[in-house]
Chains A and B, each alone.
Chain A
Amino acid sequence: MFGYILRRFLYMIPMMFLISVVCFVVIKLQPGEFGSQYFENPRVSAEAVIALRHRLGLDRPAYEQYLYWVKGIVTRGDFGYSFAYKRPVGELIWERMAWTVAVSSLSILFTWLVAIPVGIYSATHRYSIGDHLLTFFGFIGISIPSFFLALALIYLVVSTGGTAVGGLFSPQYIGQPWSWAKFVDMMNHLWIAVIAIGTAGTASLLRQMRSNLLDVLGAQYVTTARAKGLSERVVIYKHAVRNAINPLISIFGMELPEVISGTIISSIVLNLPTIGPFFYDALLNHDQYLVMTFLMLSAFLMQIGNLLADILLAWADPRITYQ
């Protein structure tokens, strides 16, 4: 197992390199670059933009810019410098990490805590009124874009006279030390974000759980278990669910990058101080090293997620082994 994990990590190096090349090429394929946005700015002369391009090295060939960036990472562990913020990109991403991870983890937790039990209920009560109702809401959840749901929830709150819209806190609590009142205020704001971001995921996960479990429930060993006289509880939870959950573990692995990159539009709409809107802004600004670092982090998490899922699978299912 240890050898397997080590091998997987070694594979990641060429993989990350390839991903970085592709990302950089795509970034460079965008028309314009960091300087071009300033031409329309009344405060900036054309000469200043040309000087800026030169200072940032944007007038050099693309491959040189790429190699410069890679060199910084390899020799100094330096992921570059944000053109817009004049600060190291690592620092900027780190500043926004705490809230990003907190909000995403909560919404992922919400997704799983709701989807798994409801999926099991749906499968075990197939074609009952409850199942139909849950299926109906599930489809609505899948089809509503999360940013729209966010706007609808905000509208609902405002029209009922609430003030807890946008952001994670009411203005007076932002930047204040933690207190019970601040925590309550955060909870008042957070539920919109968790529901808006989590709903689509919940709905699709719920459908997945339901169909997996239905497959398994039709299998012979379930019938055998029932024939042995085991209680329905044991049959479902000890035998059926355990087998039905394997594909979901793979899905869980894929969700890891979502922790930082998920739901950019919803975060903008909800005014969350997370990394999504920050990344979007950097993309629009052509802040290339910031975009690259972010994409690399996301790709890295994807690979770690896959690895974790594979390890978890081996642990959950004794039939799977890795050499």
Chain B
Amino acid sequence: MRLMGHRRNRAPLLVALVLALLLFSVWSVSAQESLQPKKAPSILFQQIGKPGGTLTLRLGASPKSFNFYGVIDSSAYTIMMGNVLEPLVEANPVTQVLEPALASSWDVSKDGKTVVFHLRPGVKWSDGVPFTADDVVFTMENVLMDPNAEGNSVDRFTIGGKQVHWYKVDEHTVKAVLPQPYGAFLQVLSQAMMVPKHKLAEYVYPLNPKLKPGAINNAWTTNWNLKDIVGTGPFQLAEYTVDQKVVLTRNPYYWKVDPKGNRLPYVDKLVYLIVPDDQVALAMFKAGQIDRMVISGQDYPMLKKEELAGGDIRVFRGQPVQNTPSPLHVAFNFDEPNPALRAVFRDLRFREAVDYAINRSRIIDEIYNGLAIESGVIGVQRTNKAFYNPAIEKMRHPYDLKKAAELLDAMHLVDKNGDGVRELPNGEPLRFTLTAAVDIKEHQDTAVLIRDTLQKIGIKVDLQLIKFGLCFDKAMAGEFQAMILAFGDQPDPQLRKAIWQPGWPLYYWHRSTMTKDGKLNQEALLPWEKTLWQLFEQGETAMNPAARKKYYDEVQVLFMKELPVIFLVKGMDLSAVHKDVGNAFQTKDGVTVWTNYTVFKK
């Protein structure tokens, strides 16, 4: 009884204490969790937008999955990347310069091997669960480094054969430990989208031992309950109608604001209509069912005319910012089986002669309707503020058939029998096959134009026009003599060294630089290829952006000088948008501005 009495007396006190504790913890959590929003860069705004409305865009193919790391599929990327999932650091959509995103700041240690990231306070997943250091470590260690995840990034975060490791310091701080300094680290991080641990951990193999390796690929498929697919991005998935449309709604917890401090995104709904056929998409755009789309060079004149005639659309011809496809190039097979022809292909004078003989302004005017520019090299265009080397402009060879003929004469490739075709030293005609994609009109037309101009300087070219996919397979197998091709590319040369550095599978014009088991074959390297290889190696380990740029500046100069491949032109970024969409415009530099979270419906 006494005890009971005691309790009765103490109860209110206890309750008060508990309440106070609870209040305190709520207060401390909310203080800790109050969002520190990011002001979206002012370069993305023409005016402050009006909230509300639906933005409708086109998707060229159905998504294969919604799992960013479980699939290699451009539709899945279009839907998830930037709309639903976001990285710790992000590239400015206009300048490509890296900025804070889910990490609000970071410190690099003196030796360049440790980077500490401070996560943006108060960020939440679209289901309201806080975004924490656990999510970062989960994404970086368990998801994107899973070699069995189909869209993994193992090679991006493996440096010199060793993996980057991530550690939680506290709820809002993570530490990355690099095996050695790695220049492109923040760049690759800008493509590492954070995924929620609380939704995905049970589908990841080593964490859930009941699963098989690669189980992650079977999560977030197209039949998944969309409520369980959450992100930190401006939108969240709301509905998917198979092969017809994907609907996203605004994420109420989104952490970016406009320059006036209004919450982004402006639009309530983002709809992707799945329209595989370009002509139908164009018809739907003209009928007002699609708000904005990327257009082709062939459609540009027609749409521009409509704009000038007072139609309700605007058509943009933007400086190339898109990295894919890389500039169109011509490659000659350095491993050509015929020794006489191989010697010619390896002779710089021959490649220079071809370079002089190519009339790029004709390609731009006649084939691209004026909607292209003379390209930079290895995918670095003028708009790329981080890597472009202006020195290459002075190294361009002008269109000069006389000079081209002189170079060939100097190689003792002359037409002895008067049939209009020069002969090789062994008496065979100077004749080769040029392979190009028949299903990409620009490639095909460029091939025809090159054949015709080379004929003028006594080189006989046979065309082999086949499907792009086959071109690609032939290039990879080394079954070609000359090839016109373009690749998917990246803004940072390090990320696509598999194309441009000798010894990689995509360095297809000189496949013997790679051994059968995928290693570098030192003996096969030409003298300048040794330098090229070295420059890429140095660029990889430099941590300081200025030092990195120096190496890649040299790479660009080397490509201009030695012409491993001959770069032609790069198409411009063409798009059309209805006039009732705000914050879609062009900057003074001619770059087209468009982000789904800053545009609005007037």
Q: How far apart sit A169 and B487, CA to CA, in the bound complex (Å)?
A: 37
In the complex, the answer to whether B473 meets A166 with C-beta atoms within 8 Å is: no
User: Would you mind naming 13 contact pairs between A and B with Cβ atoms under 8 Å apart?
Assistant: A40-B488, A42-B487, A42-B489, A43-B488, A45-B155, A46-B506, A46-B518, A86-B217, A87-B222, A169-B244, A171-B245, A273-B242, A277-B276
Q: How far apart sit A42 and B326, CA to CA, in the bound complex (Å)?
A: 10
User: A residues near B, CB below 8 A?
Assistant: 31-32, 36-48, 51-52, 55, 84-87, 91, 95-96, 151, 154-155, 158, 162-163, 165-171, 174-175, 268-271, 273, 277-278, 281, 284
Q: How far apart sit A51 and B518, CA to CA, in the bound complex (Å)?
A: 14
In the complex, the answer to whether B243 meets A87 with C-beta atoms within 8 Å is: no
Contact A158 B276, CB 8 Å, known A31-B470, A47-B155, A278-B243: no
Q: Which of these, B147, B274, B289, B495, contacts A51 with CB under 8 Å?
A: B147
Contact A37 B469, CB 8 Å, known A48-B155, A151-B279, A273-B242: yes
CB distance from A268 to the nearest CB of B (A): 5
Q: Which residues in A have their C-beta under 8 angstroms from that of B489?
A: 42
Q: How far apart sit A31 and B191, CA to CA, in the bound complex (Å)?
A: 32
In the complex, the answer to whether B72 meets A166 with C-beta atoms within 8 Å is: no
Task: Name which residue of chain B comes closest to A285, CB basis.
Answer: B64
Q: Which residues in A have their C-beta under 8 angstroms from that of B152?
A: 48
Q: Which of B21-29, B89-97, B165-173, B280-288 is the interface stretch? A: B280-288
Q: How far apart sit A52 and B288, CA to CA, in the bound complex (Å)?
A: 42
Q: Which residues in B have their C-beta under 8 angstroms from that of A165?
A: 280, 283-284, 287, 289
In the complex, the answer to whether A155 meets B324 with C-beta atoms within 8 Å is: no
In the complex, the answer to whether B472 meets A39 with C-beta atoms within 8 Å is: yes
Q: Which residues in A have their C-beta under 8 angstroms from that of B271?
A: 171
User: B residues near A, CB below 8 A?
Assistant: 56, 61-62, 64-65, 67, 70-73, 77, 147-148, 150-155, 191, 214, 217-218, 221-223, 239, 241-245, 247, 271, 273-277, 279-281, 283-284, 286-289, 323-324, 469-470, 472-473, 476, 487-490, 495-496, 498, 504-506, 518
A-B Cβ contacts below 8 A, count: 148
CB distance from B155 to the nearest CB of A (A): 4
Q: How far apart sit A51 and B217, CA to CA, in the bound complex (Å)?
A: 14
In the complex, the answer to whether B324 meets A42 with C-beta atoms within 8 Å is: yes
Contact A174 B283, CB 8 Å, known A46-B498, A85-B64: no
In the complex, the answer to whether A46 meets B487 with C-beta atoms within 8 Å is: no
Contact A158 B286, CB 8 Å, known A40-B472, A271-B276, A271-B280: yes
> Can you name 15 extra interface pairs (CB under 8 A) apart from A87-B221, A175-B239?
A32-B473, A43-B72, A43-B77, A48-B147, A48-B154, A55-B148, A86-B221, A87-B223, A151-B279, A168-B244, A175-B247, A271-B277, A273-B244, A277-B243, A278-B62
Contact A85 B470, CB 8 Å, known A55-B148, A95-B242, A273-B244: no
In the complex, the answer to whether A84 meets B283 with C-beta atoms within 8 Å is: no
Contact A175 B245, CB 8 Å, known A47-B154, A163-B288: yes
Q: Which residues in A have their C-beta under 8 angstroms from that of B147?
A: 48, 51
Q: How far apart sit A16 and B279, CA to CA, in the bound complex (Å)?
A: 39
Q: How far apart sit A40 and B286, CA to CA, in the bound complex (Å)?
A: 33
Q: How far apart sit A38 and B498, CA to CA, in the bound complex (Å)?
A: 13
Q: Which residues in A have their C-beta under 8 angstroms from that of B504?
A: 46
In the complex, the answer to whether A174 meets B244 with C-beta atoms within 8 Å is: yes
Q: How far apart sit A154 and B277, CA to CA, in the bound complex (Å)?
A: 12
Task: Name which residue of chain B comes closest to A166, CB basis.
Answer: B280
Q: Which of these, A39, A55, A154, contacts B506 with CB under 8 Å?
A: A39
In the complex, the answer to whether B217 meets A46 with C-beta atoms within 8 Å is: no
Q: Which residues in B have their C-beta under 8 angstroms from that of A43?
A: 72, 77, 151, 153, 191, 488
In the complex, the answer to whether B469 meets A174 with C-beta atoms within 8 Å is: no
Q: Which residues in B have their C-beta under 8 angstroms from that of A155?
A: 283
* Interface-centre pick from B281, B289, B323 (highest chain A CB count, 10 A): B289
CB distance from A157 to the nearest CB of B (A): 8
Q: How far apart sit A96 and B289, CA to CA, in the bound complex (Å)?
A: 24
By Cβ-Cβ distance, the 3 closest A-B pairs, closest first, are A45-B155, A273-B243, A42-B488
Q: Which residues in A have their C-beta under 8 angstroms from that of B247?
A: 175
Task: Name which residue of chain A comes closest to B284, CB basis.
Answer: A166
Q: How far apart sit A95 and B242, CA to CA, in the bound complex (Å)?
A: 7
Task: Name which residue of chain A comes closest to B466, CB basis.
Answer: A31
In the complex, the answer to whether A32 meets B283 with C-beta atoms within 8 Å is: no
Q: Which residues in B have their C-beta under 8 angstroms from that of A32?
A: 469, 473
Contact A271 B275, CB 8 Å, known A37-B469, A86-B218: yes
